[in-house]
Amino acid sequence: MASAPAQQPTLTVEQARVVLSEVIQAFSVPENAARMEEARESACNDMGKMLQLVLPVATQIQQEVIKAYGFNNEGEGVLKFARLVKMYETQDPEIAAMSIKLKSLLLPPLSTPPIGGGIPAS
Protein backbone atom coordinates (compact mmCIF):
# COMPACT_ATOMS: atom_id res chain seq x y z
CA MET A 1 0.00 0.00 0.00
CA ALA A 2 1.38 3.41 -0.99
CA SER A 3 2.11 5.88 1.76
CA ALA A 4 0.20 9.13 1.89
CA PRO A 5 1.86 11.94 -0.05
CA ALA A 6 3.94 14.30 2.04
CA GLN A 7 2.38 17.63 2.88
CA GLN A 8 3.56 20.19 0.33
CA PRO A 9 5.35 23.04 2.05
CA THR A 10 3.71 26.41 1.77
CA LEU A 11 5.58 29.66 2.05
CA THR A 12 4.33 33.19 2.38
CA VAL A 13 5.66 35.78 -0.06
CA GLU A 14 8.07 36.97 2.65
CA GLN A 15 9.31 33.44 3.33
CA ALA A 16 9.70 32.78 -0.39
CA ARG A 17 11.88 35.91 -0.64
CA VAL A 18 14.09 34.65 2.19
CA VAL A 19 14.46 31.15 0.75
CA LEU A 20 15.12 32.46 -2.76
CA SER A 21 17.75 34.82 -1.38
CA GLU A 22 19.41 31.93 0.48
CA VAL A 23 19.39 29.78 -2.67
CA ILE A 24 21.06 32.57 -4.66
CA GLN A 25 23.64 33.06 -1.88
CA ALA A 26 24.35 29.31 -1.90
CA PHE A 27 25.64 29.60 -5.46
CA SER A 28 28.19 32.17 -4.21
CA VAL A 29 29.69 29.84 -1.62
CA PRO A 30 33.20 29.11 -2.97
CA GLU A 31 32.75 25.32 -2.96
CA ASN A 32 29.44 25.57 -4.84
CA ALA A 33 30.76 28.18 -7.27
CA ALA A 34 33.70 25.88 -8.05
CA ARG A 35 31.37 22.92 -8.61
CA MET A 36 29.20 24.96 -10.98
CA GLU A 37 32.22 26.31 -12.86
CA GLU A 38 33.66 22.82 -13.28
CA ALA A 39 30.32 21.52 -14.58
CA ARG A 40 29.99 24.47 -17.01
CA GLU A 41 33.53 23.96 -18.32
CA SER A 42 32.85 20.25 -18.84
CA ALA A 43 29.63 21.08 -20.72
CA CYS A 44 31.45 23.40 -23.16
CA ASN A 45 28.28 25.49 -23.68
CA ASP A 46 26.55 22.45 -25.25
CA MET A 47 22.91 22.56 -24.11
CA GLY A 48 22.62 18.75 -23.94
CA LYS A 49 25.72 18.54 -21.77
CA MET A 50 24.47 21.47 -19.67
CA LEU A 51 21.38 19.44 -18.83
CA GLN A 52 23.50 16.38 -18.00
CA LEU A 53 26.26 18.11 -16.03
CA VAL A 54 25.20 21.55 -14.78
CA LEU A 55 21.56 20.94 -13.92
CA PRO A 56 22.26 18.12 -11.41
CA VAL A 57 24.85 20.25 -9.59
CA ALA A 58 22.48 23.23 -9.50
CA THR A 59 19.69 20.99 -8.22
CA GLN A 60 21.89 19.66 -5.41
CA ILE A 61 22.86 23.19 -4.34
CA GLN A 62 19.21 24.26 -4.23
CA GLN A 63 18.17 21.09 -2.37
CA GLU A 64 20.64 21.81 0.40
CA VAL A 65 18.88 25.13 1.09
CA ILE A 66 15.23 24.29 0.54
CA LYS A 67 15.19 21.07 2.56
CA ALA A 68 15.35 23.23 5.71
CA TYR A 69 12.00 24.70 4.65
CA GLY A 70 10.16 21.39 4.30
CA PHE A 71 10.80 20.61 0.64
CA ASN A 72 11.90 17.04 0.02
CA ASN A 73 15.57 16.41 -0.67
CA GLU A 74 14.98 15.12 -4.19
CA GLY A 75 14.47 16.77 -7.55
CA GLU A 76 10.74 16.92 -6.83
CA GLY A 77 11.37 19.39 -4.00
CA VAL A 78 13.24 21.74 -6.34
CA LEU A 79 10.40 21.54 -8.86
CA LYS A 80 7.81 22.35 -6.18
CA PHE A 81 9.91 25.28 -5.00
CA ALA A 82 10.27 26.52 -8.59
CA ARG A 83 6.47 26.36 -9.05
CA LEU A 84 5.96 28.31 -5.84
CA VAL A 85 8.44 30.98 -6.96
CA LYS A 86 6.77 31.16 -10.38
CA MET A 87 3.40 31.71 -8.69
CA TYR A 88 4.79 34.60 -6.60
CA GLU A 89 6.71 36.21 -9.49
CA THR A 90 3.56 37.92 -10.74
CA GLN A 91 2.67 39.19 -7.27
CA ASP A 92 6.03 40.42 -6.05
CA PRO A 93 8.62 42.37 -8.09
CA GLU A 94 11.43 41.43 -5.68
CA ILE A 95 10.75 37.72 -6.16
CA ALA A 96 10.54 38.27 -9.93
CA ALA A 97 13.96 39.97 -9.91
CA MET A 98 15.52 37.25 -7.74
CA SER A 99 14.03 34.58 -9.98
CA ILE A 100 15.69 36.18 -13.01
CA LYS A 101 18.98 36.29 -11.11
CA LEU A 102 18.69 32.61 -10.19
CA LYS A 103 17.92 31.65 -13.79
CA SER A 104 20.99 33.59 -14.93
CA LEU A 105 23.09 31.50 -12.53
CA LEU A 106 21.70 28.27 -13.98
CA LEU A 107 21.56 28.95 -17.69
CA PRO A 108 24.43 29.92 -19.97
CA PRO A 109 24.21 33.29 -21.69
CA LEU A 110 22.53 32.86 -25.05
CA SER A 111 24.71 33.84 -27.94
CA THR A 112 22.98 35.36 -30.92
CA PRO A 113 24.13 34.64 -34.43
CA PRO A 114 25.92 37.50 -36.17
CA ILE A 115 23.71 39.84 -38.14
CA GLY A 116 23.70 38.89 -41.78
CA GLY A 117 25.45 35.61 -40.98
CA GLY A 118 23.98 32.20 -41.33
CA ILE A 119 21.66 31.58 -44.26
CA PRO A 120 22.84 33.16 -47.51
CA ALA A 121 20.21 35.02 -49.56
CA SER A 122 19.31 33.37 -52.85
Report pLDDT for 112: 53
DSSP annotation string for 23-76: HHHHTTSHHHHHHHHHHHHHHTT-HHHIIIIIHHHHHHHHHHHHGGGT--SSHH
pLDDT along the chain (122 residues), means of 10: 53 95 96 94 86 91 94 87 94 95 79 54 50
Indicate the helix (H) or strand (E) that contains 1: none
Residue 49 lies in a domain: yes
pLDDT in tens, 5-35: 445 678 999 999 999 999 999 999 999 999 9
Rounded Cα–Cα distance for residues 49 and 72 (Å) = 26
Quick one: which of 4, 2, 5, 8 has its CA closest to 77? 8
Residue 85 lies in a domain: yes
Residue 57 lies in a domain: yes
Report pLDDT for 24: 96
pTM tops 0.75: yes
Report pLDDT for 115: 58
In this structure, the number of other CB atoms found within 10 A of the CB of residue 8 comes to 13
Domain count, the chain: 1
Residue 88 lies in a domain: yes
Residue 1 lies in a domain: no
Helices 75-89 + 93-106 axis angle, to 10: 140
Q: Which domain holds residue 41?
A: 13-106
